[in-house]
Amino acid sequence: MIKPGKIIGIIGNGQLGRMSAIEAKKMGYTVYVYGPGTETPAGQVSDIEVEGDYDDIDKLKQFAHGCDVLTFEFENIPAISLEAIRAVTPIHPDPFVLEISQNRLGEKNWFEANGFPTTPFEEVKSASEIGSVVKKWKSKAVVKTLTLGYDGKGQAKVDLESDFQAVWKQIGVKSAIIEKWVEFDHEISVIVARNESGEIVTYPVFENIHRNHILDTTIFPARMEKDIKRKAREMAKTMAEKIKLIGLLTIEMFLTADGQLLINEIAPRPHNSGHITFDVCATSQFQQHIRAICGLPLGNTEPYSPGIMVNILGDSWNGGEPNWKYLLSMDFVNLHLYGKMDPKPGRKMGHVVKTNPGTDFSDFDRIRQILKIPPVDL
């Protein structure tokens, strides 16, 4: 067990590291953070911020020497870097899970090989291969780069009418994945935690709404049948057991009209859809992550309030800073900002959680207006 007072090293210095560090500090840990840049979201709230690149193995080893346990919060750290430092200091979750999640093809093959339902997919290596798959499926589809794509980057929707040459040029890689387009009823996520003693907890299902491929809104409780939620949590638990997870794993799924759950992707870390746990759960996903990697007992995951979360992107600064005073004059509204200095369009700057949102979500519309976020259909 890594007792409170020991040193936790976080590789990656964004908002996920920041909120994990806040929870670790609450429990009396010392937190070191590693990544490019200084005065970063995680660095601002940590004891020591080390500036370094993710492929600088010597520097990473030096960082690892100073820590009692390591974790990571950024998706695209080269797995080879993590493999190189694990002999110095234990790292959780196991880097092989990150490796699975870093390559969409490897990830989907892994789901299939291990009996987890996922969207139909194929590897494609040319414009004509995209064309043949779309014709075979007679369905809309999405072409995605195998690596480094998130929040809709490196993706292109296609159908029978598409200019496949243009799509292939836009994707701009030698090999990509094509997935059947799922006409889902809902997108959901399940966050599961497991510690070294094999204790496992899952959070309730969160319902997610994306805009321009970026998470926009998370709703708890998710609006679907109990049985489906139970099945989704069971699936997450099975996966955590299968990979002998230590730490946190998030599983994003589509729920189809005929009640099928299809896994879209996984992330071995706290997740944007779990930010709501900071405000509605006794043990947030960030504290759960710290507990799990330190070998502490896991905390209760049942929320004590319904809630709704909206992401604040840099776009909210268009025409001037949002009116925080107006926003915070509303009841049951919590503001989280990540300490990022330069708001850019599409950049995640913070989020707002409204607990006790009621059933008509009218306050939520007002929050969106204040933040200049276009309405979504709830």
Asked if 210 touches ligand AMP (CB under 6 A), the answer is yes
Are the C-beta atoms of residues 101 and 266 closer than 8 Å to each other?
Answer: yes
Asked if 266 touches ligand AMP (CB under 6 A), the answer is no
Asked if 316 touches ligand AMP (CB under 6 A), the answer is no
Asked if 218 touches ligand AMP (CB under 6 A), the answer is no
Q: Which of residues 182, 236, 333, 370 is near ligand AMP by CB under 6 A? A: 182
Helix, strand, or coil (residue 192):
strand
How far out from the chain centre does Cα 158 lie? 25
Considering only residues 16 to 75 of the shown chain, the ones binding ligand AMP according to CB under 6 A are none
Q: Which stretch binds ligand AMP (CB under 6 A): 38-46, 131-139, 180-188, 358-366?
A: 180-188
**Residue 36: cis peptide before it, omega within 30 degrees of 0:** no
x/- string (CB under 6 A) for ligand AMP, residues 73-112? ----------------------------------------
Q: Which stretch binds ligand AMP (CB under 6 A): 12-20, 177-185, 240-248, 276-284?
A: 177-185
Asked if 117 touches ligand AMP (CB under 6 A), the answer is no
CA of 7: how far to CAs of 16, 30, 32, in Å?
18, 5, 7
CA-CA distance, 34 to 22, in Å (whole number)?
16
CA-CA distance, 76 to 54, in Å (whole number)?
9
Pick between residue 49 and residue 187 the one whose CB is nearest to ligand AMP. 187
The CB-of-292 to ligand AMP minimum distance in angstroms stands at 24
CA-CA distance, 29 to 295, in Å (whole number)?
14
The CB-of-265 to ligand AMP minimum distance in angstroms stands at 5
- Non-local (6+) Cβ contacts of 128 within 8 A are 164
Q: Which stretch binds ligand AMP (CB under 6 A): 176-184, 223-231, 273-281, 356-364?
A: 176-184
Asked if 137 touches ligand AMP (CB under 6 A), the answer is no
Q: What is the dihedral of CA 210, 216, 217, 223, to 10 degrees?
A: -10
If we measure between CA atoms, which residue out of 295, 273, 266 comes closest to residue 218? 273
Please report, as ranges, the residues that interact with ligand AMP according to CB under 6 A: 119, 142, 150, 152, 179, 181-182, 187, 210, 213, 264-265
